[in-house]
Amino acid sequence: MPVELPTRRRAVAIFAATAAGFAASGPDLRAAIDQEWRGLAMGTDARILFCGGEREAVRAAAATVASEVERLERALSLFRGDSEIARLNRAQFLSRPSGDMRRALALALAAAHLTDGLFDPTVQALWEVHVDWFASAMRTELPPASVIAAARARVDWRRIVLAADSIRLGPGQRITLNGLGQGYVTDRIADLLRAHGFDHVLVDLGEQRALGPRRDGTAWSIAREDGRPIRLVEGALATSEGAGCVIGAAGAVHHLFDPRTGRSAGTWRRITVHHRSAAVADALSTALYTAAPDEIVRVLDRMGTAAAVWATDHDGREWSWSSGTPIGASI
């Protein structure tokens, strides 16, 4: 059964910190005002934009980022057979998990509790059954209800036991942290750069987090397909869109499954969330993609922190909601 398949929403990014990875607004890197680092994130473009900062300081920071991303990947990546999450999925048990594995899973369980299970890290069973179904005999029809029901029997975040020195899954369960992993890594990298003295940086590892505005005080402009860009001054944005990863004939199924039905969610075309934490924004965008408007309101009412949500339905209409007084992002 395939368990390490690439999807659009990846848990981590791999950086190759080389001189060729830098670009500047002018020909002299030593005097550069703006620098952009580019790399590959599990086959997907990733970048960090530095507004200000000396070339050598940026180079040193990028090398540190590379090491940190590699370390996080060893814990959270489904695409590495030796990662902690891969070993947990094989055995349904992991002894002495790392701090990052524990923190990321604890955040996933908190998101599941907040959203009444709309976010559920055990939905890996639904992904796997759909991949296997379409790979077998080149099927074009959707999996029947009986196949979905068998997979859904393994989907229940409440069976995960996160203890002080171990993690245990329920029988036959496997988990994915892809629904918040990019955000988790984005937060760790942003905090690392902040600790190195950078205040005008945009980290884009699939989700975006701004460490303040650009050096001149203007916002970063985050493009949206078929929509006005979002102006981001601080905090994080995360976007979920079913079209980002499809499987089956003509994209019959996408990767954002509703744990309640076992099928791909169909209410929204796109959901974007702003929160001070990229991991929280990532988890919310994943969960709320499966939610009806009244469910989105209910989740935001439970939030103890400020958040904003922008949604596009399949008719192209724009919706928005907020909790608290979100700052740092606007359309």
Q: What does the pLDDT read at residue 226?
A: 74
DSSP annotation of 206: S
Tokens of 35: 């620098």
Other beta carbons less than 10 A from residue 324's beta carbon? 12
Question: Residue 272's closest CA among 301, 231, 302, 303?
Answer: 231
Q: What does the pLDDT read at residue 135?
A: 84
Cα separation of 184 and 189, whole Å? 9
Q: What does the pLDDT read at residue 188?
A: 94
- Of 9-23, 36-50, 312-326, the one with minimum mean pLDDT is 9-23
Q: Per-domain residue ranges for the chain?
A: 19-79+182-219
Top-confidence residue, 18 or 183: 183
* Backbone φ/ψ region at 53: left (φ over 0), alpha (ψ -120 to 50), beta: left
Q: What does the pLDDT read at residue 227?
A: 75
Per the CB < 8 A criterion, the answer to whether 163 and 188 are in contact is no
Measured CA to CA in angstroms, residue 111 lies from 158, 217, 252 at distances of: 12, 33, 28
| pLDDT > 60? residue 133 | yes
Burial (CB count within 10 angstroms: exposed 0-12, middle 13-18, buried 19+), residue 175: buried
Give the 3-state secondary structure of residue 101. helix
| pLDDT > 50? residue 238 | yes
Tokens of 156: 């229940």
Residues 6+ apart with CB under 8 A from 71: 100
Burial (CB count within 10 angstroms: exposed 0-12, middle 13-18, buried 19+), residue 315: exposed
C-alpha triplet 233, 239, 245: angle, nearest 5°: 150
| pLDDT > 60? residue 20 | no
Tokens of 210: 């701004």
Sign of the torsion formed by the C-alpha atoms of 183, 3, 103 and 17: negative
pTM of the model: 0.88
| pLDDT > 70? residue 142 | yes
Question: Residue 241's closest CA among 229, 219, 225?
Answer: 225
Give the 3-state secondary structure of residue 94. strand
- pLDDT tens per residue across span 203-234: 998 899 999 999 999 999 998 877 789 999 99
Percentage above 70 pLDDT, the chain: 87
| pLDDT > 80? residue 28 | no
Terminal alpha carbon distance of the chain: 43
| pLDDT > 50? residue 91 | yes
Tokens of 124: 């890996």
Q: Identify the band that residue 36 occupies on the pLDDT scale cut at 50, 70 and 90.
A: confident
Burial (CB count within 10 angstroms: exposed 0-12, middle 13-18, buried 19+), residue 25: exposed
